[in-house]
């Protein structure tokens, strides 16, 4: 999305920091028809630098009516990564659409969904995200802060047919991964204590804790523990506040951007469902 006014940016002019680009919109609010209260999700497209140095386009959408945020990016190998934050339900959903290797007998793509508890200090609120703008869409963004790797053992399956009881976004986001939606026991307990029906969650085989990593299994038909890693290369993780002599209280004046890596371990009934996991 572009702000009103001149669209062209001289190539010789250095890109402004995103903090300055976001300063005015965060103070003045979104244009009419976009953002809070409009019923239409606001979208921002930014060019971001991945951990390996390559550049890709990332789409960020905010729906302040639904109080949700979504992020989507395509990796150089074609994998499509998406992230959804549902603030109303304290749920975040990671989805990976992984291109299949046809020469190995795989389908065109394989879908995975990982559902975990959302803590509200992980990412900026949806109403703030809906107001973000940039003046130079050609600028390449790089996260200001790299947050630590989060390793998660996904030991519970999510029943897709009951998924709307957990989050209304799950049916749409995980439609291609109906048999591969995972969460953690501790997160399932958190949600059930807050009224989510236990029928949403299904236990995985008890022997999963004793199974080897898929990288150690040669028989393609054997069960194993798969590991999938992904990175959110750039996302607004925190609001910045400024002080002024003319204002008695601090005011929002920009955002801080973060990058965070995740590693998910989960049960698969057959080694062939985890061909990317080659680690010993």
Strands of 68-74's sheet, edge to edge?
140-141, 42-49, 55-63, 68-74, 80-86, 91-99, 109-117, 181-183, 156-158, 201-203
pLDDT at 208: 81
At 198, the pLDDT band (50, 70, 90 cuts) reads very high
pLDDT at 210: 87
pLDDT at 202: 95
Structure tokens at 183: 């969460």
pLDDT at 101: 67
pLDDT at 35: 38
pLDDT at 16: 35
Share the mean pLDDT of the chain.
84
* CA dihedral for 270, 276, 279, 280, sign (positive or negative): positive
CA distance 238 to 48: 18
Q: Decide the pairing of beta strands 156-158 and 181-183.
A: antiparallel
pLDDT at 32: 28
pLDDT at 278: 75
Residue 190 has pLDDT above 60, yes or no: yes
pLDDT at 40: 66
pLDDT at 52: 87
pLDDT at 24: 32
Q: Quick one: average pLDDT of 33-56?
A: 75
Residue 26 has pLDDT above 90, yes or no: no
pTM (2 d.p.): 0.83
pLDDT at 14: 34
Residue 259 has pLDDT above 60, yes or no: yes
Nearest partner of 95 among 78, 73, 111, 118, judged by Cα: 111
Residue 7 has pLDDT above 70, yes or no: no
**Residue range 70-82, pLDDT digits in tens:** 999 999 989 999 9
At 254, the pLDDT band (50, 70, 90 cuts) reads confident
Residue 23 has pLDDT above 60, yes or no: no
Nearest partner of 96 among 269, 208, 262, judged by Cα: 262
């Amino acid at each position: 999305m572009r702000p009103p006014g001149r669209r062209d940016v001289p190539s010789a002019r250095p890109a402004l920091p995103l903090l300055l680009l976001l300063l005015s919109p965060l103070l003045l609010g979104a244009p009419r028809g976009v953002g809070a209260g409009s019923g239409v999700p606001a979208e921002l497209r930014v060019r971001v630098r991945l951990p390996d140095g390559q550049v890709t386009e990332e789409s960020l959408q905010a729906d302040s009516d639904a109080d949700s945020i979504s992020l989507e990016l395509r990796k150089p190998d074609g994998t499509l990564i998406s992230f959804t934050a549902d603030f109303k339900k304290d749920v975040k959903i990671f989805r990976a659409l992984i291109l299949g290797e046809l020469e190995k007998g795989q389908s065109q793509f394989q879908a995975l969904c990982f559902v975990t508890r959302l803590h509200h200090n992980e990412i900026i609120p949806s109403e703030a995200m809906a107001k973000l703008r940039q003046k130079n869409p050609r600028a390449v963004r790089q996260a200001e802060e790299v947050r630590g790797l989060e390793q998660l053992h996904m030991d519970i399956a999510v029943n897709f047919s009951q998924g709307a009881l957990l989050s209304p976004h799950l049916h749409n986001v995980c439609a291609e991964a109906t048999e591969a939606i995972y969460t953690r026991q501790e997160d399932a307990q958190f949600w059930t204590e807050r009224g989510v029906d236990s029928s949403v969650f299904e236990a995985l085989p008890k022997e999963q804790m004793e199974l080897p990593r898929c990288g150690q299994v040669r028989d393609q038909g054997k069960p194993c523990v798969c590991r999938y890693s992904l990175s959110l290369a750039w996302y607004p993780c925190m609001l910045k506040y400024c002080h002024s002599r003319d204002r008695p209280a601090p005011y929002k004046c920009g955002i801080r951007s973060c990058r965070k890596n995740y590693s998910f371990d989960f049960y698969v009934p057959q080694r062939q469902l985890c061909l990317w996991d080659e680690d010993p």
